[in-house]
Amino acid sequence: MMRVAVQPEMFRWARERAGLDVLALRSRFPHLAAWEQGEAQPTLRQLARYARATHAPLGYFFLPAPPEEPLPIPDFRTIGGRVIARPSADLLDTLYACQARQAWFRDEALVTGQRPLPFIASMDIAIAPDRAADQLRQTLGFSVQARRECSSWSEALRLFIAQADALGVLVMVSGVVGSNNTRVLDPEEFRGFALADALAPLVFVNGSDSKSAQMFTLAHELAHLWLGQSALSDAGVEGAGEPQHGAGVERWCNQVAAELLVPLPEFIAALREGELLDDAMRRLAREFKVSTLVVLRRLLDVGRLSRDAFWQAFRAEQARLVAIQAASSGGGDFYRTTTARVGKRFARSLVESTLEGRTLYRDAFHMLGIAKPGTFNELGRSLGLPI
């Protein structure tokens, strides 16, 4: 049987890029250890299966050495203050898919005569975060009072997304790569990213994160759009006042996000003397519809917590939220989920363009992650389009 000559390091590169180990793949590829040692070579069929399993392009395996895959946007992610060296296949595929959607929407916007959005690149980091947050709040219509009237974090997040969507921002929220529910995005790797563009500004939020954490991520990435800067970040509220990769940009975006979600004057007015930390944390999180981690950060900002007390409480609460998120179940309405993953503004524009003959059904199906005309038509009806 004919074998394919592949450099041993290519097998290791693909496995590590996909975040998999030998044990995870050994049952499907019994000869993997030998391939990685250069002691054996796969057949073309075996190699194709391995490429699919590791989400790597088949052609890459014929290269003499692993390719460099630099991220196409600035990377401000850190772990413990250190820059993250290698993006995963899940992150890269998500980023490339969003860039393709953005490129399509930009072309459609030019064809249909849409005008550039004036708020993109309308600020710089010399503007005080509280002033910047106030401008975002007024432009979005995102008031604390409106959030207080929401019954839950989820409802408040839907309101926030709808306001950004109405303003012209493509907001995409997904916890998986495309529509593949087996490829779950890791919020420890990234929480979101922004792709700045005057005609097609895009924000992606990692839907595997908690709903309240997604609120902060959306606010952070919107701040990047107001700066006119594309960026990949972990959008950590704990870093709102800390030195970090990306210098002043990430710190500024974190501060704007915190001020947008929890304006300091209103936060101070809501504090109660003598209230226990756990009680205050949960009450204020319900009132402002934000993560308890954001509340902890604001308690530090106003001097109610020392830095040591903040970090102790922050790590404990972070562990509690991770456990809750891990125990939560998925599911939900297919069409609502699909719309959330690609964004309502994008989905509606794509369906309309396809029905009017400007976009091929094949291309629309690919960008939406669907396979059947009936599903496409039902998605259009769910968006209120006459089909």
Q: Is residue 244 part of a domain?
A: yes
Residue 358 predicted with pLDDT over 50: yes
Is the pLDDT score of 173 beyond 90? Answer: yes
Q: Which of 145-154, 195-204, 249-258, 310-319 has the highest mean pLDDT?
A: 195-204
Amino acid at site 353: S
Whether residue 154 is found in the same domain as residue 200: yes
Shared domain for 250 and 348, answered yes or no, is no
pLDDT tens for each residue of 366-384: 999 999 999 999 999 999 9
Tens-digit pLDDT profile for residues 47-93: 999 999 999 999 999 999 999 988 889 888 765 555 666 889 999 99
Pairing of strands 82-83, 78-79: antiparallel
In a domain, 255, yes or no: yes
| 326 belongs to a structural domain | no
Looking at the fold, whether 91 and 239 belong to one and the same domain comes out as yes
pLDDT digits (tens, 9 = 90+) for 1-46: 789 999 999 999 999 999 888 888 989 999 999 999 999 999 999 9
- Considering the domain boundaries, does residue 310 fall inside one? no
Provide the token pair at 310.
Answer: 């903040």
> Which two three-digit tokens encode residue 356?
């009017």
3-state secondary structure of 11: helix
Each residue's pLDDT tens digit, 94-145:
999 999 999 999 999 999 999 999 999 999 999 999 999 999 999 999 888 8
State which of 235, 263, 291 marks the end of a domain: 263
Among the candidates 229, 263, 297, a domain finishes at 263
Mean pLDDT in the chain?
91
Are 229 and 369 members of one domain?
Answer: no
Query: What percentage of the chain carries pLDDT values higher than 70?
Result: 93
Residue 238 is predicted with a pLDDT of 60
Task: Check pLDDT > 50 for residue 207.
Answer: yes
Does residue 157 share a domain with residue 96? yes
Based on the fold, state whether residues 87 and 207 are members of the same structural domain.
Answer: yes
Domain assignment present for 325: no
Distance (Å, whole) CA 229 – CA 249 = 9
Region 300-306 average pLDDT: 93
The torsion angle over the Cα atoms of residues 97, 98, 100 and 106, rounded to 10 degrees, is 170
Could you say which of 263, 284, 318 is where a domain stops? 263
Q: Is residue 287 part of a domain?
A: no
Q: Are 57 and 14 in contact, with CB atoms under 8 Å apart?
A: no
pLDDT tens per residue, range 217-257: 999 999 999 999 999 987 666 654 444 445 689 999 999 99
Give the model's pLDDT for residue 328.
61
Pair 161, 19 in one domain: no
46 and 94 co-located in one domain = no
Same domain, 25 and 130: no
28 with 116, same domain?
no
Position 93 scores a pLDDT of: 95
- The number of angstroms, rounded, from the C-alpha of 335 to the middle of its chain's C-alpha atoms is 20
pLDDT in tens, 286-297: 999 888 999 999
- Count, in order, helices (H) and strands (E) of the chain: 18, 8
- Give me the DSSP letters along 146-206: HHHTSSSHHHHHHHHHHHHHHHT-EEEEESEETTEEEEE--TTT-SEEEE--SSS-EEEEE
- The structural domain count of the chain equals 3
Report the DSSP pairing between strands 180-184 and 176-177.
antiparallel
Q: Please check whether residue 308 lies inside any domain of the structure.
A: no
pTM: 0.89
Looking up residue 46, the CATH number of its domain turns out to be 1.10.260
Instruction: List the one residue out of 136, 186, 135 whose CA is nearest residue 164.
Output: 136
Based on the domain organization, do 94 and 240 belong to the same domain? yes
What is the rounded average pLDDT of the residues 206-216?
87
Residues 92 and 127 in one domain: yes
Answer yes or no: are the C-beta atoms of 288 and 267 closer than 8 Å: yes
Within-domain flag for 279:
no
Task: Please give the residue range of the domain that contains residue 349.
Answer: 334-382
Contact between residue 249 and residue 194 where contact means Cβ atoms under 8 Å apart: no
